[in-house]
Amino acid sequence: MRIGTGFDAHRLTENRLLVLGGVEIPYYLGLIGHSDADVLCHAIADALLGAAALGDIGQHFPDSDDSYKDVSSLWLLTQCLSLIKQNNLSVVNIDSTIIAQKPKLAPYIPHMRQNLATALEIDISAISIKATTTEALGFTGRGEGIAAQAICLLKPINNLPFIDFLEGRI
């Protein structure tokens, strides 16, 4: 089994959509970023890539490449899944937390979970998303940005022995 963690944060600004977990959330501010700036998807992508020892999201999808300008972060997750599969790994589960003072996110979490489950080709029961505030502390508490953290568990495909995986035989 392989464990990976991911973290992402973006500033909030006017005239941008707020997208979290692939869901457009009605809010007067959105996140600044080269893609759609979905911090939840980005944190999960980094957790997946980290667990597979494949670097990070910026290495695979650099903001210097205009082909990723305004791209859906759910699509980026599907690309990360392809990399994971190429390395004979599959996703077991994801646990994540969105850190934002506002807006209230609870009503959107079921849709986010479904989007992520679909993108990662796993059952929705393997996706956990929590939302929390920082009690008005820090940049998220002041409403300047939103952050997310994630942890994932990967396993070798077909239950192949882990030692074979580590030794490069699979």
Domains and CATH numbers, the chain: 2-166 (3.30.1330.50)
Residue 57 has pLDDT above 80, yes or no: yes
Residue 59 has pLDDT above 70, yes or no: yes
Residue 170 has pLDDT above 70, yes or no: no
CA dihedral 81, 82, 85, 89 (to 10 degrees): -30
Which of 32, 40, 170, 10 lies closest to 105 in space, CA to CA? 40
Of 13-22, 96-105, 157-166, the range with the lowest mean pLDDT is 157-166
Residue 137 has pLDDT above 70, yes or no: yes
Report which of residues 136 and 62 the model is more confident about: 136
Residue 99 has pLDDT above 80, yes or no: yes
Binned at pLDDT 50, 70 and 90, residue 67 comes out as confident
Q: How many residues does the chain have?
A: 170
Token pair of 115 as six digits? 């989007």
What is the percent of the chain with per-residue pLDDT over 70, rounded to a whole number?
Answer: 93
What's the number of CA atoms in the CB half-sphere (13 Å) around residue 23? 18
Of 57-61, 96-100, 120-124, 130-134, the range with the lowest mean pLDDT is 57-61
pLDDT score, position 71: 87
20 within 8 A of 150, measured Cβ to Cβ: no
- The residue type of 3 is I
pLDDT score, position 123: 96
Global confidence as pTM = 0.90
Residue 91 has pLDDT above 70, yes or no: yes
d(CA 81, CA 45): 9
Average pLDDT, the chain: 92
Report which of residues 145 and 61 the model is more confident about: 145
